């Protein structure tokens, strides 16, 4: 009772204390808010008075004489500075005091600064680069004292500042004086107010606590008395009474408690008589009866139940009071899971003829059948009530019959196993132990005898987590009665295992005996054939691409061989992988080889590209020793892909790409010869002139023809990306160009087509949602304007994400945040040509490193041309390339 009294009184004390503390804290907070506001206003008013007074102390004539930094050594400067220092020293709050005037460009310039610290002084003529917004807005026409509303931060720190103009005799403004109070000074005032408020709160807390404790103790005393009497009722003493001394609500409650005690005594006597009658019936029943909570605590058991479990009369008190308490599952059931399963089924309704093995005192087992129901108790634990019969003899009679049926089933199973000798058949139960009957295929798969072994340890010897999931699945399958749910659990079981070097497919069936049968099929050969088929398909694609686009194939492979040889022979260490040209070349070759279905080369180039990216992002002279080995890896991968083509098409095909009937130099010489002959004019016969004219085009190719491979490349890439693109052809004029000069540009245009598919054209679902046709449209045209070839590539996709370009330019330190924000849309679009900048946030095997359009820019610059990117959000993009045809840019 002392505990109850103390606990309740403490509760009331705490409640009263918290309420009073809340009121006190609110008052302290209001005090702090009002005082803080008043202090801030006083400081601003005082600062305004100080700066207004200080403006009259400035010698205007001397101030006007200070124009050049050298004037800091003049007497006029020293005189004004001493005046400002006296003003600063006269007030402990002032940190900086200085004068300013308008500079020749409209900016704010310092004139005289009272500061003596050389590191912090503002010299004559220094520009005030970070004035507050208020000073910047009002400085030009400031004609009266002005104080900042709040503190602001500049390059010198955080301040509360005041400003006042000072004027010449003719009324014109000679300058502005500024006075700064440190934010730390203001903070000291505010901190003093906080300490004062906390001190007031601390002084009131003890008084509030003592008063609350005394008041709560007086309120609790009669309640404690009634609790003591109620506890006596609970112990069976219904003669206890409460002494009523008041007529208030507590007095009425005491009288009601006394009346209840009288009625409880009468009811208790009646219930005791009824209980004695039912106890006699309960103890004399021929069948076992028990009651237990769902948590496993045995509440009661009759004599027949105790006899069934092998306990004599001398054990009865021990069983009911000690041995079974809280542990029915362990002491009464041979398999504790039977009790848990029974309780789970009872939650759905009464259970009839539930079979279970019960454990006797001597550890022997008895088979029983139970009819059980669940009594739900409001506000208490649910009670399990069971009627138990011993059916051991009946089950033993049936055991022989079941054994014969099992033997017959085993015989039939042997026949099934023999008929399916190409598969492994085995069965197991809840204990995971494999039954003696299994097929020969199991012995081969597991390399030995499997009977008596645990199936999960054979299938997953080194995977403890996998065995745990397997055991859980077996438990769910064997405990589930609903066929649909059981099939669902079976579908979640592992469907394939790796046994040594063999891949085994597994199927599961629940047998009539309540076990699980596994059907194991060796699919190792099938897996190997599938892998070989995939590899053969990739080799076939490579061979077909090399034949279908033979001209591009030989051109790209020849360029790459020269590129690899130059890089192997070059000084890779000195270059350090930091050359943007090298990076762009690698990125371009990766895209070209991907389009031509090379197998090993694109992956090796991607690895090299990632190494280059890491080196470019490193600080200092990072070691690049493995860069040469990466280049060698690319060349080995390239030779490996060429070997696939050689094995399928022979050496003659690869050598054919290197044969020319007229060399490029010879073609140029013939063109030069034709030009010289035509220069003879009328002296050259007309018939000969007609035959000589075609020599001018020797060695030239159609620019439109050089782009013909890209429509097919776009179609393949769109399929890979799950997008739909309308077929298209390169349209326009047949402009003859020098292929050697224009080849870098043609290769770099691969990035534009790839971006149109990867960045531009949306998926069919996205296009449908935005009201566009399901198929995207990409076009390419070649036209001639004067002496320039104009290549125009368009798409009707999502357009360039300008905001993403701005964000990535800031992230990559190309621009500051302010520069990116002020940049126009046209200027932002040009960021797409910056090296290492992309609208994507992550790179994949195709794009995202920000190299593509940079490579295009480099190729166009090499021809002396120009490139322009136009884009409209949601409508598409257009890339326009202009390059001179008949002239070479002057170096």
Residue 781 has pLDDT above 90, yes or no: yes
The least confident of 123-132, 458-467, 513-522, 651-660 is 651-660
pLDDT tens, position by position, 550-596: 778 888 888 888 888 777 655 454 444 446 778 888 888 888 888 88
Higher-scoring residue by pLDDT: 727, 399: 727
pLDDT tens, position by position, 65-84: 888 888 888 988 999 889 88
Residue 811 has pLDDT above 60, yes or no: yes
pLDDT tens, position by position, 632-688: 889 889 898 888 888 877 776 777 665 544 555 666 666 666 666 666 666 666 665
pLDDT tens, position by position, 842-859: 545 444 444 668 889 999
Q: What is the pLDDT of residue 843?
A: 45
Beta strand extents in 433-515 (DSSP E only): 496-499, 502-510
Helix (H, G, I), strand (E, B) or coil at 261: helix
Which distant-in-sequence residues (6+ apart) come within 8 Å of 840 by Cβ?
759, 804, 847, 848
Residue 891: band (very low, low, confident or very high) from pLDDT cuts 50, 70, 90: very low
Q: What is the pLDDT of residue 682?
A: 62
What counts of helices (H) and strands (E) characterise the chain?
Answer: 32, 22
Q: What is the pLDDT of residue 864?
A: 92
* 3-state per-residue secondary structure call for 152-195: EEECCEEEEEEEEEEECCCCCEEEEEEEEEEHHHHHHHHHHHHH
Residue 3: band (very low, low, confident or very high) from pLDDT cuts 50, 70, 90: very low
Residue 693: band (very low, low, confident or very high) from pLDDT cuts 50, 70, 90: low
pLDDT tens, position by position, 379-427: 667 888 888 988 888 877 777 777 777 766 665 656 565 445 578 888 9
Question: In b/e form, how buried is each residue of 599-637, taking b as 16+ CB within 10 angstroms?
Answer: bbbbbbbbebbebbbebbeeeeeeebeebbebbebbbeb
Higher-scoring residue by pLDDT: 29, 766: 766
Q: What is the pLDDT of residue 661?
A: 45
Rounded to whole angstroms, the Cα distance separating 289 from 321 reads 17
Residue 792 has pLDDT above 90, yes or no: yes
Tell me the HSE value of 87 on the side-chain side, using a 13 A CA sphere: 28
Beta strand extents in 691-747 (DSSP E only): 701-702, 730-732, 736-737
Residue 252 has pLDDT above 80, yes or no: no
Mean pLDDT of 605-631: 73
Q: What is the pLDDT of residue 618?
A: 67
Higher-scoring residue by pLDDT: 692, 527: 527
> For residue 356, with 0-12 CB atoms within 10 Å meaning exposed, 13-18 middle and 19 or more buried, which class applies?
buried
Residue 884: band (very low, low, confident or very high) from pLDDT cuts 50, 70, 90: very high
Beta strand extents in 511-617 (DSSP E only): 516-522
Residue 256: band (very low, low, confident or very high) from pLDDT cuts 50, 70, 90: confident
Residue 1 has pLDDT above 50, yes or no: no
Q: What is the pLDDT of residue 757?
A: 92
Q: What is the pLDDT of residue 677?
A: 61
Q: What is the pLDDT of residue 665?
A: 63
Rounded to whole angstroms, the Cα distance separating 635 from 395 reads 78
Q: What is the pLDDT of residue 580?
A: 72
Contact of 469 with 548, CB cutoff 8 Å: no
Rounded to whole angstroms, the Cα distance separating 460 from 469 reads 11
Q: What is the pLDDT of residue 846?
A: 47
% the chain with pLDDT above 70 = 79
Higher-scoring residue by pLDDT: 646, 791: 791
Contact of 177 with 58, CB cutoff 8 Å: yes
Question: In b/e form, how buried is each residue of 507-525, taking b as 16+ CB within 10 angstroms?
Answer: ebebeeeebbbbbbbbeee
Q: What is the pLDDT of residue 669?
A: 63
Q: What is the pLDDT of residue 376?
A: 81
Residue 868: band (very low, low, confident or very high) from pLDDT cuts 50, 70, 90: very high
Q: What is the pLDDT of residue 451?
A: 87
pLDDT tens, position by position, 264-302: 777 777 777 776 766 666 667 778 888 888 888 888 888
Higher-scoring residue by pLDDT: 863, 330: 863
Higher-scoring residue by pLDDT: 431, 327: 431
Contact of 332 with 308, CB cutoff 8 Å: no
Q: What is the pLDDT of residue 245?
A: 66
Phi, then psi, of 120 in degrees rounded to 5: -110, -10
Q: What are the residues facing 510 on neighbouring strands?
A: 516
Q: How far is the CA of 116 from the CAs of 66, 185, 566, in angstroms?
A: 18, 20, 64
Q: Which of 743, 741, 735 is nearest to 697 (CA)?
A: 735
Q: What is the pLDDT of residue 732?
A: 93
Rounded to whole angstroms, the Cα distance separating 832 from 853 reads 7
Mean pLDDT of 518-540: 81
Contact of 824 with 716, CB cutoff 8 Å: no
C-beta pairs of 394-397 under 8 Å, 24+ apart in sequence: 395/367
Q: What is the pLDDT of residue 889?
A: 34
* Max avg pLDDT among 41-50, 597-606, 848-857: 597-606
Residue 321 has pLDDT above 70, yes or no: no
Higher-scoring residue by pLDDT: 532, 359: 359
Residue 5 has pLDDT above 50, yes or no: no
Which tokens in the block code for residue 366? 């008895």
pLDDT tens, position by position, 744-775: 999 999 999 999 998 899 999 999 999 999 99
């Amino acid at each position: 009772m002392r505990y109850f009294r103390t606990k309740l009184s403490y509760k009331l004390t705490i409640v009263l204390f918290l309420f009073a503390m809340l009121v006190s804290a609110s008052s302290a907070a209001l005090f702090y808010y009002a005082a803080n506001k008043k202090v801030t206003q006083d400081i601003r008013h005082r600062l305004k008075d100080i700066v207004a007074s200080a403006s009259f102390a400035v010698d205007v004539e001397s101030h006007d004489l200070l124009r050049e930094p050298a004037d800091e050594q003049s007497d006029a400067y020293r005189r004004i500075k001493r005046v400002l220092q006296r003003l600063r020293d006269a007030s402990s709050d002032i940190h900086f005091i200085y004068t300013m005037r308008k500079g020749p460009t409209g900016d704010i310039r310092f004139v005289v600064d009272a500061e003596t610290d050389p590191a912090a002084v503002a010299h004559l003529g220094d520009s005030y680069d970070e004035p507050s917004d208020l000073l910047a807005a009002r400085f030009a026409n400031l004609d009266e004292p002005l104080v900042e509303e709040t503190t602001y931060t500049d390059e010198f720190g955080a301040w509360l500042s005041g400003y006042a103009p000072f004027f010449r005799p003719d009324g014109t403004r000679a300058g502005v004086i500024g006075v700064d109070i440190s934010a730390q000074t203001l903070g000291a005032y505010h901190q003093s107010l906080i300490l004062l408020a906390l001190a007031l709160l601390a002084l009131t807390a003890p008084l509030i606590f003592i008063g609350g404790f005394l008041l709560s103790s007086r309120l609790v005393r009669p309640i404690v008395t009634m609790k003591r009497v109620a506890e006596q009722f609970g112990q069976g003493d219904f003669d206890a009474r409460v002494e009523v001394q008041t007529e208030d609500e507590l007095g009425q409650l005491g009288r009601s408690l006394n009346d209840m005690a009288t009625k409880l005594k009468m009811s208790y006597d009646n219930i005791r008589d009824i209980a004695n009658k039912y106890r006699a019936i309960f103890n004399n029943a021929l069948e076992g009866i028990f009651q237990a909570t769902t948590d496993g605590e045995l509440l009661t058991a009759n004599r027949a139940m105790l006899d069934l479990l092998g306990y004599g009369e001398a054990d009865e008190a021990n069983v009911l009071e000690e041995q079974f308490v809280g542990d029915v599952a362990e002491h009464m059931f041979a398999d504790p899971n039977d009790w848990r399963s029974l309780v789970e089924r009872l939650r759905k309704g009464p259970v009839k003829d539930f079979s279970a093995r019960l454990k006797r005192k001597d550890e022997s087992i008895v088979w029983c059948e139970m009819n059980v129901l669940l009594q739900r108790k409001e506000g208490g634990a649910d009670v399990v009530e069971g009627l138990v019969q011993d059916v051991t003899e009946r089950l033993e009679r049936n055991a022989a019959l079941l054994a014969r049926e099992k033997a017959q089933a085993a015989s039939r199973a042997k026949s099934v196993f023999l008929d399916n000798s190409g598969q492994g058949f085995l069965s197991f139960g809840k204990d995971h132990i494999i039954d003696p009957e299994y097929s020969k295929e199991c012995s081969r798969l597991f390399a030995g005898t499997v009977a008596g072994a645990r199936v999960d340890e054979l299938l997953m010897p080194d995977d403890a987590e996998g065995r745990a999931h397997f055991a859980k699945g077996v438990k769910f399958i064997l405990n589930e009665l609903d066929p649909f749910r059981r099939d669902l659990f079976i579908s979640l079981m592992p469907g394939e295992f790796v046994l040594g070097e063999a891949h085994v497919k597994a199927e599961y069936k629940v047998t009539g005996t309540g076990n699980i049968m596994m059907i194991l099929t060796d699919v190792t050969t099938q897996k190997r054939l599938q892998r070989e088929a995939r590899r053969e398909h990739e080799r076939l694609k490579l061979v077909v691409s090399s034949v279908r686009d033979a001209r591009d194939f030989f051109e790209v492979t020849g360029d790459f061989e020269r590129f690899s040889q130059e890089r192997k022979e070059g000084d890779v260490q000195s270059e350090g992988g930091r050359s943007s040209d090298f990076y762009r070349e690698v990125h371009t070759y990766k895209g070209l080889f991907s389009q031509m279905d090379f197998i090993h080369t694109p992956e090796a180039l991607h690895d090299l590209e990632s190494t280059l990216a890491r080196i470019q992002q490193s600080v200092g002279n990072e070691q690049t020793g493995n860069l040469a080995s990466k280049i060698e890896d690319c060349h080995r991968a390239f030779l490996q892909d060429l070997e696939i083509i050689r094995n399928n098409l022979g050496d003659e095909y690869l050598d054919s790409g290197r044969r020319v009937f007229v060399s490029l130099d010879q073609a140029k010489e013939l063109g030069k010869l034709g030009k010289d002959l035509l220069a003879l004019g009328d002296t050259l016969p007309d018939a000969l002139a007609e035959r000589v004219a075609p020599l001018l085009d020797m060695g030239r190719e159609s620019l439109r023809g050089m782009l013909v491979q890209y429509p097919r490349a776009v179609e393949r890439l769109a399929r890979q990306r799950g997008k739909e693109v309308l077929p298209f052809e390169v349209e326009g004029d047949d402009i003859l160009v020098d292929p050697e000069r224009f080849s870098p540009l043609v290769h770099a245009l691969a990035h534009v087509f790839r971006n149109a598919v990867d960045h531009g054209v949306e998926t069919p679902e996205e296009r449908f949602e935005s009201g566009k046709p399901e198929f995207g449209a990409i076009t390419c045209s070649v036209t001639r304007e004067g002496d320039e070839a104009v290549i125009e590539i368009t798409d009707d996709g999502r357009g360039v994400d300008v905001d993403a370009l701005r964000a990535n330019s800031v992230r990559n330190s190309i621009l500051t945040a302010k520069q990116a924000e002020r940049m126009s849309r046209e200027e932002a679009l040009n960021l797409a040509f910056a090296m290492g900048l992309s609208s994507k946030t992550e790179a994949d095997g195709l794009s995202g490193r920000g190299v593509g359009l940079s490579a295009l820019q480099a190729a166009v610059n090499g021809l002396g041309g120009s490139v322009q990117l136009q884009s409209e959000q949601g409508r598409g993009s257009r890339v326009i390339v202009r390059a001179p045809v008949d002239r070479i840019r002057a170096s």
